[in-house]
Structure 1
């Protein structure tokens, strides 16, 4: 797969809130060596604490890619962003974005890229075709993050696992399946942009055969219990052919995200169903730990919840921020 070059110039645009720049924020947190500079347009108020540079200044300083790691309602490229994108291409940088609107479909941007021999990375739309999944046994080890709901920390947990595994001397590679993850590592497959029949095959392509002691850490999406996204979650389970699963959860949610009136499943039910579905392509797959997002809980309440859940389920229960994930990685090392 073609990989976006780094370091990056992080395009913050004219955004007004921190959630809108989460793609750029993820790079700053997880791959700070890639985050060289930022550019803010008139009207924008976000700041990641990086040097402010124009595209020409950033290119002269060695930046290879301008990352448009921002989101807006509708996922389109506003007209006032186009001149800056063109300026980056003319300065010699590639441009990476995850909008619903493809940069390659905007004539002025496409023409500038062609004229300057630069690459447009529209990460939300896969650039290659995939085969259907086969579920054939393949070498290497894989761990997949799964969840009781969507948007509760599967990417964060996956990156924390990779970091801890590398710190412990294990071979590990984070495999991105969403646009923010792709921004962070510069490659991957936005799995929600893959035609349903080919989701499992896309994941097999993303994490192919590897050394017997190498771990692919596959970023999960959605939840088997979420009526909107269960299809994607199931395809990921089958394609990952995971040896281990890590269950992600956020206590206190009143309902499934975006679906009022639908309760979250119990951890026990979610663990059982994910293991059952994973056994189609790996009969020995099992949940080895739980990653809990306790950010809304005070410290004492959070630690009590983690301890109680670990005892009830008989497996490590961590918060990737409060406690780290070393206890879960210790379980992976036994496989």
Structure 2
């Protein structure tokens, strides 16, 4: 998304919050290595005040629905105080990592949980798009799932790796 935004002349910075993102960008905070009391502050530090037309693209971590990682995710949301949220979902995932008896919830459940949590620190925060990981689907299955999800949620939806991030960048440009 950052590359697409810059190609369009938009101001953006990818804010890495995990080891892989830091290896790619050379900058960021490995949030899972920060003492819990300081995780939200690390997220805040990572996203300094900037021009009104500048976007900080904060790398997501974990899941609000995963018992092992939800604290990191919550701290990242509260520290980053997002304006716009891109929901991430992998529809072929049968269970949460390490929790074989727990099926991941729906995108609707994610939206309905994350928006009020984000509004604790930013009353105007809202979901503006959906990123779908379709790596285990055929092209036809992926296209059908994305179209159905977009129609059901009324949010731009894509697999940015397979089909590019243009829809999600459009959502931010129109925000």
TM category, shorter? over 0.9
Question: Which residue of the partner structure matches residue 268 of structure 1?
Answer: 108
| Matched residue, 2:169 | 329
Distance in 1 of aligned mates of 2:24 and 2:94 = 31
CA distance in 2, matches of 1:198, 1:174: 21
Whose helix fraction is larger, Structure 1's or Structure 2's?
A: 2
Aligned residue in 1 for 2:12? 172
Asked if 1:220 is matched to 2:57, the reply is: no
In 2, Cα distance between equivalents of 1:288 and 1:213: 17
Find out whether 1:196 has 2:59 as its counterpart.
no
Tell me how far apart the structure 2 counterparts of residues 303 and 240 of structure 1 sit (CA, whole Å). 32
Q: 2:26 aligns with which of 174, 186, 189?
A: 186
Counterparts of 1:127-166 in structure 2, within 5 Å, are: 161-166=1-6
Larger RCO: Structure 1 or Structure 2 (Cα < 8 Å, ≥ 6 residues apart)?
Answer: 2
Aligned positions, number: 175
CA deviation digits over 1:32-59, x for unaligned, max 9?
A: xxxxxxxxxxxxxxxxxxxxxxxxxxxx
Report matched runs for 1:244-323 at 5 Å: 244-323=84-163
The 3-state SS of whatever aligns with 1:291 is strand
Q: Which of the residues 79, 100, 123 maps onto 1:239? A: 79
Find the counterpart in structure 2 of residue 40 from structure 1: none
Provide structure 1 residue ranges, at least 5 long, that are not aligned to the other structure: 1-160
Query: 1:239: how far off?
Result: 0.5
Over residues 255-276 of structure 1, what are the superposed CA-to-partner deviations in whole Å (9 max), with x where a residue is unaligned? 1111110110111010110001
Q: Which has the larger radius of gyration?
A: 1
Runs (4 or more) in structure 1 with deviation over 4 Å come to none
